[in-house]
Amino acid sequence: MQKKIVIDLPLNTENCRSKAMQIAVRSAGVISVNIDKEKGHLVVIGVGIDFFRLMNCIRKKFKCSSIVSLEEVKQEKPASPKKPSCPSPKCPPICGGQYYPICQPVYDPYNPSCTIM
DSSP letter for each residue of 11-67: --SHHHHHHHHHHHHTSTTEEEEEEETTTTEEEEEEES--HHHHHHHHHHH-TT-EE
pLDDT in tens, 64-99: 888 899 898 887 766 666 666 655 555 555 555 555
Q: Confirm whether 88 is domain-assigned.
A: no
Query: How many domains are there within the chain?
Result: 1
**3-state secondary structure (DSSP) of residue 22:** helix
pTM: 0.60
pLDDT band at residue 33 using 50, 70 and 90 as cut-offs: very high
Domain span including residue 23: 2-73
Q: Confirm whether 104 is domain-assigned.
A: no
Dist CA 20 CA 71 (whole Å): 20
Q: Can you tell me the mean pLDDT for 47-54?
A: 89
